[in-house]
Amino acid sequence: MEDAGQKESVPVPKERSYFRDNPPPKTLESHTKLAKAFISYHVRSNRDVVMITSGGTTVPLENQTVRFIDNFSAGTRGATSAEYFLEAGYAVIFLHRQFSLLPYSRHYSHSTNCFLDFMTEGQNGEVEVNPEYQQKMLGVLRKYNAAKRENKLLMLPFTTITEYLWELREIATLMRPLGPKALFFLAAAVSDFFLPKDRISEHKIQSSDNKEPVTNGSSKSETSAGPPVGHGKQLKIDLDPVPKFLKMLVDGWAPEGMIVSFKLETDPSLLVFKAQQALEKYAHHLVIGNLLSTRKYEVVFVAPGEEEHWIRVPVHRRIKSVTAPRPDMKALKDEQTTEQEWFRG
Ligand code: PAZ
């Protein structure tokens, strides 16, 4: 707490006060240990290391979280990119939303088809991979095992925006000894707004007024700036802007690293403008823009001093709908082919 009565308070930049006011996740220490060992290993082998962020961050509305605001992202972009970076010789730190798609296993999870649909029962009652999928699964399995054997893939989960920012700061700082051999590929969908620690309700927000609000002394549910309290069915949430972490990354945490950020928009007329704006504001190396409705088959690269550059999957290779549930295995195969063309393109 600031001691305003005793000395003139010096304003703390929002970025720094964020970390002061929002405590680190319990996992930070163990993740830092793992990341430190991983990075040192690859510094010694003179290897390029990419930190890929993937999946959406959440904004909890309660400390004991029942409800939260989420950000759109399945983790497809991040998990797929991780595989291609590994193939290109990078070591990958995969900072991802817990339970979102992961490199390699993504081929068999979160699809309309359960992983069991890839299996069959053998003649003697043993579980086997359906012959139709064996060749592809063997290829995926070999790459996955190689990444593990060669210690090239470190997967670290986050859930909330605060966890994400703490992990990003810690790992980016640890990556400094890599100098220009560090790459940041920021595909995660990161919350722009959050509910600060001092305004968050300890317990589940109630949907109707209790006659006598029950507090246990530690609950902050009655502070004037307090958390949103249910009045009938209306819930008003007053969120603060999340400090601009990209600025901190570029200027402070990873001054020598190459930084690629993503920009997601829904209005086509805004996409390039917003990407250029981000580039001017943060002075990093590349913004990759994509629209929610077309993200699977077109992206735009916006780099300083260059014309914007679109990469598109040819029309005949596009899957018909990227939002509708996939009806069958054929659609899944189509999507994988499309993604390979995206990366080759
Ligand atoms: O994870 P996914 O493949 O479903 O979606 C990827 C994406 C659209 C979240 C990503 O490409 C992206 O644009 N990330 C940045 C989002 C943002 O503007 O915060």
The 10s digit of each residue's pLDDT in 74-108 is: 999 999 999 999 999 999 999 999 999 999 999 99
Residue 4: pLDDT band (50, 70, 90) is very low
Residue 40: pLDDT band (50, 70, 90) is very high
Alpha helix locations (H) across the chain? 14-21, 28-44, 76-87, 131-149, 161-174, 245-248, 268-282, 329-344
What is the atom index within ligand 1 of the atom nearest the CA of 77? 3
How much is the pLDDT for 54? Answer: 98
pLDDT of 14 above 90: no
How much is the pLDDT for 212? Answer: 58
34-49 burial: b if 16+ Cβ within 10 Å, else e: ebeebbeebbeeeebb
Residue 104 CB burial class (10 angstroms; 0-12, 13-18, ≥19): buried
Hey, what are 285's tokens?
A: 């190396």
Residues 184 and 173 sit within 8 Å (Cβ to Cβ): no
Read off the pLDDT of residues 240-262 as tens digits, 9 standing for 90 and up: 999 999 999 999 999 999 999 99
pTM of the model: 0.86
How much is the pLDDT for 222? Answer: 42
Helices (H) and strands (E) in the chain, counts: 8, 14
Whole-number Å distance, alpha carbon 77 to ligand 1 midpoint, is: 7
- Averaged pLDDT, 9-18: 74
Give the separation between CA 261 and CA 186, rounded to whole angstroms. 5
Whole-number Å distance, alpha carbon 310 to ligand 1 midpoint, is: 16
Residue that wins the pLDDT comparison between 154 and 316:
154
Q: Which residues contact 182 (CB under 8 A, 6 or more apart)?
A: 48, 49, 50, 51, 175, 176, 254, 256, 257, 258
Q: Which residues contact 314 (CB under 8 A, 6 or more apart)?
A: 341
Tell me the best of 264, 281, 291, 339 to mutate to test the pocket of ligand 1, counting ligand atoms within 8 Å of each CB and taking the most. 264
Residue that wins the pLDDT comparison between 188 and 228:
188
Helix (H) or strand (E) segment spanning residue 260: strand 258-265
Question: By alpha-carbon position, which residue is closest to atom 1 of ligand 1?
Answer: 75
Whole-number Å distance, alpha carbon 82 to ligand 1 midpoint, is: 14
Q: Which residues contact 307 (CB under 8 A, 6 or more apart)?
A: none
pLDDT of 214 above 70: no
Q: Which residues contact 80 (CB under 8 A, 6 or more apart)?
A: 103, 106, 339, 343
pLDDT of 116 above 50: yes
How much is the pLDDT for 210? Answer: 62
Q: Which residues contact 285 (CB under 8 A, 6 or more apart)?
A: 258, 259, 260, 303, 304
Residue 228: pLDDT band (50, 70, 90) is low
Residues 18 and 165 sit within 8 Å (Cβ to Cβ): yes
User: Does the CB atom of residue 159 touch ligand 1 within 6 A?
Assistant: no
- Averaged pLDDT, 20-47: 97
Hey, what are 157's tokens?
A: 């989960």
pLDDT of 3 above 90: no
pLDDT of 296 above 60: yes
How much is the pLDDT for 97? Answer: 98
Q: Which residues contact 149 (CB under 8 A, 6 or more apart)?
A: none
Residue that wins the pLDDT comparison between 211 and 123:
123
User: Does the CB atom of residue 296 touch ligand 1 within 6 A?
Assistant: no
Read off the pLDDT of residues 146-185 as tens digits, 9 standing for 90 and up: 999 999 999 999 999 999 999 999 999 999 999 999 999 9
What is the atom index within ligand 1 of the atom nearest the CA of 289? 13
User: Does the CB atom of residue 175 touch ligand 1 within 6 A?
Assistant: no
Q: Which residues contact 295 (CB under 8 A, 6 or more apart)?
A: 77, 264, 322
User: Does the CB atom of residue 288 touch ligand 1 within 6 A?
Assistant: no
- Averaged pLDDT, 32-58: 98
- Averaged pLDDT, 37-47: 98
Residues 97 and 54 sit within 8 Å (Cβ to Cβ): yes
